[in-house]
Amino acid sequence: MADEQNFDAVKAAPSAEESKRRAGKLRHKPSKRAKGNLSKASKEPMDAASAMSAVKKFEGTKFNESVDVVFHLGIDTKHADQLVRGSVSLPKGIGKTKRVVAFCTTDVEADAKAAGAVEAGGEELVAKIEKGWFDFDVAVASPDMMRVISKLGRVLGPKGLMPSPKAGTVTKDVVEAVKDYSAGKVEYRADKGGNIHATIGKMNFPEGDLLANYEHLLRTVEQAKPAAVKANYIKSIHVSGTMTPGIRIKYSSEAE
């Protein structure tokens, strides 16, 4: 019995390497690329056009990185009237397609699939998802299908896949919604910290295309300002590549 206790104690005791790691003495060393990019990153805010140019000048990785924007908003997400959520089709696309499913009546199924839906239907599609099928990025639905898919709320809700009128994924024109989201329509939603994360393209996009997408998204976020927020709506904006440092974009609250 004593031997078993000693064995358990030895087994539970952390190794010297593990102890150092827990103490923060062993950490991942940044690569030369990461160090080089960090040294290039501007410490001062830049105008939007310059920021897009600077992001593209960072040393890239082996894959075509996404270019992402983060808006830090002066909202209190604990209040329902200050939630910011929606969707937008960017003028230059985002460089990728999305897998879309459509909850619709049988007479629309064929058109929805022709528009790009990976699956379309009603009860049968609901049953398929209940069994664990989640090979899709966006779900759209017609209003009359919401009672059919309501049972999926506990499954799709936590994954952010439940169709919602506020996000634009509940619509009478399901076929058009499938076309939009298949082409890369962007959904945006403020997280608990009041931040909106959104992709505006890829590193191989021309600077002008990234700028056009950014400006379109900025106008959309500005227009989504809740009435309950009186000032300091957009506190800061940063742009970055998937594996690059962030660059702060100049923004004046006077534009609101």
Burial 163-199 (b: 16+ CB within 10 A, else e): bbeebbbbbeebbebbbbbbbbbbbbbbeeebbbebb
Return phi, psi of residue 117, to 5°.
-70, 135
Task: Count CB atoms within 10 A of the CB of residue 159.
Answer: 9
The separation between CA 68 and the C-alpha centre of its own chain, rounded to angstroms, equals: 9
- Please state, in angstroms and rounded to a whole number, the distance separating the CA atoms of residues 134 and 162: 12
19-38 pLDDT tens trace: 555 555 545 677 777 777 78
d(CA 121, CA 123): 7
**Rg, Å, the chain Cα set:** 23
Which pLDDT score, from 0 to 100, does residue 29 have?
Answer: 74
Instruction: Say which DSSP state 253 is in.
Output: G
The DSSP result for 86-103, as a single string, is EEE--TT--S----EEEE
Q: What is the rounded average pLDDT of the residues 34-48?
A: 83
Q: How many CA atoms lie within 13 A of 81 on its CB side?
A: 4
SS3 236: strand
Map tokens 């539970």 to a residue: 12
Higher pLDDT, 185 or 192: 192
Answer yes or no: is pLDDT of 250 > 50.
Answer: yes
CATH class of 40-94+185-255: alpha beta
* Alpha-helical segments (H) within the chain: 2-12, 16-22, 32-40, 48-57, 106-114, 123-130, 146-149, 153-156, 174-182, 207-223
Residue 192 DSSP symbol: T
Mean pLDDT, residues 62-76:
93
How many Cβ atoms are within 10 Å of 82's Cβ, its own excluded?
19
At 234, list the tokens: 């957009």
Q: Are 70 and 238 in contact (CB under 8 A)?
A: yes
Flag whether pLDDT at 242 surpasses 70: yes
Percentage of residues of the chain with pLDDT beyond 90: 61
State mean pLDDT over 80-84: 91
The answer on pLDDT for 184 being more than 80 is no
Q: What does pTM read for this prediction?
A: 0.69
The per-residue pLDDT for 255 is 44
Nearest to 33 by CA among 247, 246, 244: 244
Q: Residue 143 pLDDT more than 50?
A: yes
Residue 127: partners with Cβ closer than 8 Å, 6 or more residues away: none
The answer, yes or no, to whether residue 10 has pLDDT greater than 50, is no
**Positions of CATH 3.40.50.790 in the chain:** 100-182
Residues of the chain with CATH 3.30.190.20: 40-94+185-255
In whole angstroms, give the CA distance from residue 128 to residue 126. Answer: 5
Does pLDDT of 6 surpass 60? Answer: no
In CATH terms, the fold of domain 100-182 is: Rossmann fold (3.40.50)
Residues, the chain, total? 256
Q: Is the pLDDT of residue 152 over 80?
A: yes
